[in-house]
Amino acid sequence: MNREKKVLIYGYGNPGRKDDGMGIKITEMIEEWKNAHDLDQIDIDSNYQLNVEDAEKVSQYNIVIFVDASQEADLTNFRLAEVEPNNQKVEFTMHAVSPAYIVHLCQELFHKKPEAKLLSIKGYRWDFEEGISDSALLNMERAFIFLQCQLQNMLNIEFSEIKCN
Amino acid sequence: MSKKITIEPVTRVEGHGKVTIKLDDLGRVTESRLHIVEFRGFERFVQGRPYWEAPVLVQRLCGICPVSHHLAAAKALDVIVGAGTGEGLTVTGEKVRRLMHYGQFFQSHVLHFFHLSSPDFLFGIDAAPELRNIIAVAQENKDLAYQGIMMRKYGQEVIAATAGKKVHGTGAIPGGVNKNLTLAERDNLLKGPDPMSADKMVEWSLGALDFFKHYHKNNQQMVDNYASFPSNHLSLVRKDGALDIYHGVLRAVDNEGRRILNDVDYQDYNNYIEEEVRNWTYMKFPYLKEYGREKGWYRVGPLARLNVCDFIPTPLAQKEFEEFKAYTKGKPNGMSLHYHWARLIEVLHSAEVMRDLLNDPDLQGNDLVVKGARQGEGVGVIEAPRGTLFHHYKVDDNDLITMANLIVSTTNNNEPMNRAVNATAKAFMNGKQEITEPMMNAVEVAIRAYDPCLSCATHALGQMPLEVTLMNEQDEIIDQKIKG
């Protein structure tokens, strides 16, 4: 097991707006898994949205995986993509910022460049209601298994109960 | 040809808003409006739910000031469980809530000043859009950007220690709190690790004030005249007239400083405040009933609070308050950009209060909850970072919420924000035939001073570009620009 690498799983979204809660829900699932297997090199965090102070948080990790619900039309179920630092692509408001912006700020202020990825999970419903829609739930469960497999590879660990292929 | 310009949405303002500015044939501004697309139906979301869920549920209104909603709801429910109106809690219950609230205040104000407004001060309102963000601030003034981030983080840690967690905190419950502050939590917030200490937060708050005052000194005319207009001002004050953002009585003063609402109990807010509906926006326009729609509107938020209170009960902030008051010779201050000055004085006050509270052993007490005779109705009012926040609930015999009414800070500031947009449009757009990026930002600077926050809950619903629409008097689109 690679105990040198420190990994942060950071889910964000509003659990009171249906599928937007997937980012936080999946971090809860990862936390349960991590605790069951004593994976102390994985840390979990979650919030309604990313904020500028998260730049300091991510500077403490080798690998950061952001998890967010997505309404992208061309997204089938989920996608893991590299996050390239970017100071141009700022979200509509500055209260909430993008993963790319966080990583860029991390580099500028804390001189660290963690390996950053964004796991986007397709959602369908965003109204003021708790609970994740059935279609989104399927996407989230697949994304969860995929994320477990990614973490196994990154940390050089393997659990027989997880079928990665 | 007469024109109407629409700026939609307003960047660096939470939620979705647009600005329309009508020009006459000579290009003069005739009318400006700020339209807010507000979430509808949130009150219905909590109806039918058990009342004790409300302090957690209402945090979903907003990811920026969830603690304000959490505490305003808890205060209303204190009344319902018979724990009184803010003064009936145990010493530990009240002080833990206060620490939570001042932590939220601190981090919210810091975010606004350092990350939303400092680019305007560092680079000017006519700077290129790519400069108007915190990364450009970091390149220009690394200390400022770094301190802003660490101060924000400090406030978040205060919230996490008192509310239990960052998302959907549960610290405040009807009648009190569900945890005290442990010694380990206290020591972590009070002493470190460097630079995360209470003393450092006070020191950096003073530095932020110096930054603003230096800018003000060098740009006095612009800062003082920008969207400046007289108004009434409303806020909570402590019963002895001190600034108090957690609890007090409602007071309003007019533009001469005369009291027009004299320290009334907020349980009776319905007797004093009315909300007007206008057909061109979803957001209501509150006003003082006694003075009517035309004369009864008011400002809320940092500027209003410093105009309304008699003093600030911490020494460093009081010293700054005296300087602030002397600037207008003791009269209420109607300069919109002085919201930033007032906000930074409140940052300093919050840092001082947090430090004092962390040194108070009452925070480690174990008497956390009070209950009394059950009531069917309760009102909770708190000073949220952006201004006075009202929560009002009715509960039936089955403990279910049957009615909820919320007046949020941004709604209270609706009329002054519209006036600020109008004043700025007249200053920057009169006689202009083309809308430039600096002109658009000039309008946004005026709105940003009020720090409106509609809801961050939209964040997963996609990015919203800035749309500028030029229309004639018949509302026909003659030009349209989209950025972002």
- The two beta strands, B232-237 and B176-177, are unpaired
Highest mean pLDDT of the ranges A39-43, B327-331, B407-411, B424-428:
B327-331
Tokens of B467: 């749309």
Residues from chain A contacting residue B461 (CB–CB below 8 Å): 71, 126
Query: Sign of dihedral through CA atoms A6, B460, B138, B201?
Result: negative
Question: Between residues B352 and A96, which one has the greater pLDDT?
Answer: B352
DSSP-assigned states of every residue in A17-46:
BGGGGHHHHHHHHHHHHHHHHT-TTEEEEE
Among B452, B455, B404, B460, residue whose Cα is nearest residue B55:
B404
Q: What is the largest CA-CA distance in chain A?
A: 44
Distance CA B240, CA A58 (A): 45
Q: Chain-wide mean pLDDT for chain B?
A: 86
Residues from chain A contacting residue B484 (CB–CB below 8 Å): 92
Is residue B93 pLDDT above 60, yes or no?
Answer: yes
CATH code of the domain containing A51: 3.40.50.1450
What is the structure's pLDDT at B470?
53
H helices within B359-473, ranges in order? 409-412, 414-429, 437-449
Q: Do A128 and B45 touch (CB under 8 A)?
A: yes
Q: Chain A to chain B, count of Cβ pairs less than 8 Å apart?
A: 120
DSSP E strand stretches across B174-276:
176-177, 232-237, 249-253, 259-264, 273-276
By Cβ distance, the residue of B133, B461, B464 closest to A90 is B133
Distance CA B51, CA B57 (A): 10
Pair B424, B432: CB distance under 8 Å: no
Pick from A88, A91, A95 the residue to mutate for testing the B interface (most B CBs within 10 Å). A95
Residues from chain A contacting residue B41 (CB–CB below 8 Å): 128
Pair B129, B437: CB distance under 8 Å: yes
H helices within A45-88, ranges in order? 54-58
Q: Phi, psi at residue B85, to the nearest 5°?
A: -110, 65
Q: Min CA distance, B147 vs chain A (Å)?
A: 10
Average pLDDT rounded to a whole number, residues A107-123 = 93
Q: Phi, psi at residue B36, to the nearest 5°?
A: -120, 125
Pair B483, B10: CB distance under 8 Å: no
Q: Is A57 inside any structural domain?
A: yes
Q: Is A2 inside any structural domain?
A: no
Q: Do A95 and B484 touch (CB under 8 A)?
A: no
pLDDT in tens, B357-394: 999 999 999 999 998 999 999 999 999 999 999 999 99
Q: Min CA distance, A105 vs chain B (Å)?
A: 6
* B241: exposed, middle or buried (Cβ count in 10 Å: 0-12, 13-18, 19+): middle
Of the pLDDT bands very low, low, confident and very high (cuts 50, 70, 90), residue B14 is very low
Tokens of B258: 């005369």
- The number of C-alpha atoms within 13 Å of B153 and in the hemisphere containing its C-beta is 20
What is the structure's pLDDT at A72?
86
**CA dihedral defined by B186, B188, B191, B197, rounded to 10 degrees?**
-100
Question: Between residues B202 and A3, which one has the greater pLDDT?
Answer: B202
Q: Is A163 inside any structural domain?
A: no
- The three-state secondary structure class of A159 is coil
Tokens of B414: 């609706």
∠ CA B170-B175-B176, rounded to 5°: 55
Distance CA B76, CA B318 (A): 30
pLDDT in tens, B319-354: 999 999 999 999 999 999 999 999 999 999 999 999
Residues 51-110 of B with CB under 8 A from A: 57, 60, 63-64, 66
Instruction: Give residue A12's domain range.
Output: 7-155
Q: Do B459 and A51 touch (CB under 8 A)?
A: no
Buried-exposed string B170-193: b where 16+ CB fall within 10 A, e elsewhere: ebbbbbbbebbbeeebbebbbeee
- The three-state secondary structure class of A132 is coil
Q: Do A52 and B130 touch (CB under 8 A)?
A: no
Q: Min CA distance, A102 vs chain B (Å)?
A: 10
Is residue B455 pLDDT above 80, yes or no?
Answer: no
Pair A41, A150: CB distance under 8 Å: no
pLDDT in tens, B393-406: 999 999 999 999 88
Average pLDDT rounded to a whole number, residues B27-45 = 69
Question: Between residues B115 and A36, which one has the greater pLDDT?
Answer: A36
Tokens of A110: 């804390």
Average pLDDT rounded to a whole number, residues A107-118 = 92
Is residue A59 pLDDT above 70, yes or no?
Answer: yes
Amino acid A128 reads F
What is the structure's pLDDT at A16?
77
Distance CA B204, CA B436 (A): 36
Is residue B136 pLDDT above 70, yes or no?
Answer: yes
Residues from chain B contacting residue A104 (CB–CB below 8 Å): 135
* Residue B359 forms contact with A (CB below 8 Å): no
Structural domains in chain A (count): 1
Residues from chain A contacting residue B142 (CB–CB below 8 Å): 109
Distance CA B450, CA B119 (A): 16
Q: Do B149 and A15 touch (CB under 8 A)?
A: no
Q: Do B149 and A52 touch (CB under 8 A)?
A: yes
Distance CA B156, CA B103 (A): 7
- The three-state secondary structure class of B473 is coil
For chain B, list the domains and their CATH numbers. Answer: 3-37+428-483 (no CATH), 42-173+182-412 (1.10.645.10)
| DSSP element (H, E) containing B23 | strand B16-23
Distance CA B38, CA B17 (A): 9
Residues from chain B contacting residue A70 (CB–CB below 8 Å): 460
Pair A15, A130: CB distance under 8 Å: yes
Pick from B42, B117, B134 the residue to mutate for testing the A interface (most A CBs within 10 Å). B134
Q: Is A147 inside any structural domain?
A: yes
By Cβ distance, the residue of A49, A52, A88 closest to B459 is A49
Q: Do A48 and B148 touch (CB under 8 A)?
A: no
Pair A150, A164: CB distance under 8 Å: no
Residues from chain A contacting residue B135 (CB–CB below 8 Å): 87, 101, 104-105, 108
Of the pLDDT bands very low, low, confident and very high (cuts 50, 70, 90), residue B204 is very high
| DSSP element (H, E) containing B119 | helix B118-123
Pick from B149, B447, B463, B467 the residue to mutate for testing the A interface (most A CBs within 10 Å). B149
Is residue B276 pLDDT above 80, yes or no?
Answer: yes
Residues 417-476 of B with CB under 8 A from A: 453, 456-457, 459-465
pLDDT in tens, B213-253: 999 999 999 899 999 999 999 999 999 999 999 999 999 99
Terminal-to-terminal C-alpha distance of chain B: 29
Q: Do B63 and A48 touch (CB under 8 A)?
A: yes
Q: Min CA distance, B103 vs chain A (Å)?
A: 15
* Residue B166 forms contact with A (CB below 8 Å): yes
Per cent of chain A over pLDDT 90 is 58
Average pLDDT rounded to a whole number, residues A28-32 = 95
Is residue B466 pLDDT above 50, yes or no?
Answer: no
Nearest CA in chain B to A85: B135
Q: Is A165 inside any structural domain?
A: no
Q: Do B456 and A49 touch (CB under 8 A)?
A: yes
Per cent of chain B over pLDDT 90 is 57
Is residue B483 pLDDT above 60, yes or no?
Answer: no
Tokens of A60: 């403490």
Average pLDDT rounded to a whole number, residues B465-480 = 56
Among B105, B115, B51, B38, residue whose Cα is nearest residue B78:
B51
Least confident of A24-38, A76-90, B44-58, B386-400: A76-90
